[in-house]
């Protein structure tokens, strides 16, 4: 199974890139994990339309393969404990399809992306900056893997 993250926002602060690299480098090689960063669509200063979100949604959907499981990271999704995530990851792995996680743009994701998602996962009730969500995602994926294999990273 291959795992990747599609994330809107191609320019992140250095600390985000460093932390994301640190955790993603720890992920198992067989996942062939990769990040597909997409540019944020232009928004006008007072633009309240959904045009940018729709444009980002089209970019996201164009990158998703038809046979992939899609997990949307969304504040309205289901919150999971680390052990629940490890169990869910095991279920996704037993499905044997590649796994694609999605972090949308500043305004969220289009209805098309939301409808394509097989599962919606909330990292927190808090609204997180996209860079921080990216880092938290990578750390929690490493933690879930460590729980699966009995690695001492996670402590109860």
pLDDT digits (tens, 9 = 90+) for 11-49: 888 999 999 999 999 999 999 999 999 988 887 777 666
Range of lowest pLDDT (52-66, 85-99, 120-134, 141-155): 141-155
Topology at the third CATH level for domain 3-39+53-149 = Alpha/beta knot (3.40.1280)
pLDDT exceeding 70 applies to what percent of the chain?
96
- Rounded distance between C-alpha atoms, residue 91 and residue 139, angstroms: 19
pLDDT greater than 80 at residue 139: yes
Supply the pLDDT for residue 155: 63
How far apart are the C-alpha atoms of 144 and 156, rounded to whole Å?
A: 13
Task: Say if residues 148 and 86 touch (Cβ distance below 8 Å).
Answer: yes
Which residues, 6 or more positions from 40, have their beta carbon under 8 angstroms from its beta carbon?
8, 9, 10, 52, 56, 105, 106
Q: Give me the pLDDT at residue 119, please.
A: 97
Q: What is the dihedral of CA 83, 84, 86, 87, to 10 degrees?
A: 120
Query: Cα(58)–Cα(45) distance, rounded to whole angstroms?
Result: 22
Domain residue ranges of the chain, discontinuous segments joined by +: 3-39+53-149
**Residue 97 CB coordination number (10 Å):** 15
Indicate whether 70 pLDDT > 90.
yes
- Global pTM? 0.91
Amino acid 156: pLDDT? 66
């Amino acid at each position: 199974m291959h795992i990747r993250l599609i994330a809107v926002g191609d320019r992140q602060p250095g600390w985000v890139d460093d932390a994301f690299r640190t955790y993603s480098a720890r992920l198992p090689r067989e996942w062939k994990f990769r990040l597909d960063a997409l540019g944020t669509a232009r928004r006008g200063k007072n633009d309240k339309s959904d045009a940018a979100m729709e444009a980002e949604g089209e970019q996201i959907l164009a990158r998703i393969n038809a046979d992939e499981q899609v997990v949307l990271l969304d504040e309205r999704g289901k919150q999971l404990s680390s052990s629940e995530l490890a169990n869910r990851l095991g279920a996704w792995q037993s499905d044997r399809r590649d796994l694609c996680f999605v972090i949308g743009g500043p305004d969220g994701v289009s209805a098309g992306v939301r409808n394509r998602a097989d599962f919606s996962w909330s990292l927190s009730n808090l609204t997180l900056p996209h860079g921080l969500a990216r880092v938290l995602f990578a750390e929690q994926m490493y933690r879930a893997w460590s729980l699966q294999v009995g690695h001492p990273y996670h402590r109860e």
